């Protein structure tokens, strides 16, 4: 699976880029017994009609969705996600 997070509105050219990523992923990473890779594009906003036209002739499985940002972690997820300090320590030494 390929997941791309965009900070703005959906653009039709994202589909072509995702098809490229999926082709590379399937040719270099996917095992013969695995199903074809899928792509998910998450955008801050999207126009449904533009997404439908952009996906109309796409040959690979790609989904587009929007997201919203919240300043607080929901109570039910607190304790399940790493803290900022834990993430920073995991990234130490990675170039």
Measured distance CA(95)–CA(14) in Å, rounded: 27
The domain limits of the chain are 2-91
What DSSP line would sit under 8-59, residue for residue? SB--THHHHHHHHHHHHHHHHT--TTSPPP-EEEEESB--HHHHHHHHTT--
pLDDT, one tens digit per residue, over 12-65 is: 999 999 999 999 999 999 999 999 999 999 999 999 999 999 999 999 999 999
Measured distance CA(57)–CA(70) in Å, rounded: 34
Rounded to two decimals, what is the model's pTM?
A: 0.76
Q: Match 């040959």 to its residue by tokens.
A: 59
Strand partners, 65: 42
């Amino acid at each position: 699976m390929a997941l791309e997070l965009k900070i703005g509105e959906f653009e039709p050219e994202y589909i072509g880029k995702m098809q490229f990523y999926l082709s590379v992923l399937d040719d270099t990473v996917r095992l013969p017994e695995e199903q074809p890779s899928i792509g998910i594009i998450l955008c801050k906003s999207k126009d449904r009609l533009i997404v439908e036209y952009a996906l109309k002739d796409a040959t690979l499985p790609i989904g587009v969705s929007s997201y919203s940002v919240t300043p607080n972690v929901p109570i039910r997820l607190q304790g399940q996600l790493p803290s900022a300090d834990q993430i920073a320590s995991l990234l130490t030494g990675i170039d």
